[in-house]
Amino acid sequence: MKEHESDTLSKTNRINLLFDFYEPLLTEKQRTFLKYYFLDDFTLGEIAAESGISRQAVYEHIKRAEQVLESYESKLGLLAKHELLMRHAEELTLTVKRLTLPQEREKQLLAGIERLRDRTND
């Protein structure tokens, strides 16, 4: 994979994650354009045709919505907290697996960590 493609995929993944956290805080237009562009993989031209506005206007709406998402994240940090919690859960899983515990206790601990991950991903 080329570096540009990797950067684009990384940006898309980040926007999708931010969207998951902050979607309710966006305007209807911001939600719609971001969904079309990042989730449904529409081109700017396709969104423009669907919306009856220019490609440039679509581009500007998307860029502004991205800025709004990043602004929310800089103020609230929900994605950063989520990622930190997931790293801690992974470290805890590895620690539990390295310990010499009765099999039933290990299962209980791993199940508890998995429940924590599931609740964090809701």
Q: Distance (Å, rounded) from C-alpha 21 to C-alpha 29? A: 17
Report, as an integer, the average pLDDT of 44-59: 96
| Same domain flag for 39 and 55 | yes
pLDDT of the residue at 105: 93
CATH of the domain at 21: 1.10.10.10
| Same domain flag for 110 and 56 | no
| Same domain flag for 39 and 24 | yes
Residue 33: which of 13, 54, 48 has the closest Cα? 48
Burial of 73: CB neighbours in 10 Å, binned 0-12, 13-18, 19+: middle
| Residue 117 predicted with pLDDT over 90 | no
| Same domain flag for 85 and 71 | no
Q: How confident is the model at residue 4 (pLDDT cuts 50, 70, 90)?
A: low
CA angle 113, 76, 12 (to 5 degrees): 75
pLDDT tens per residue, range 53-106: 999 999 999 999 999 999 999 999 999 999 999 999 999 999 999 998 999 999
Domain-ending residue, one of 76, 96, 112: 76
Longest dimension (CA), the chain: 64
Number of domains composing the chain: 2
Which residues span the domain enclosing 86? Answer: 80-120
| Same domain flag for 69 and 89 | no
| Residue 1 predicted with pLDDT over 80 | no
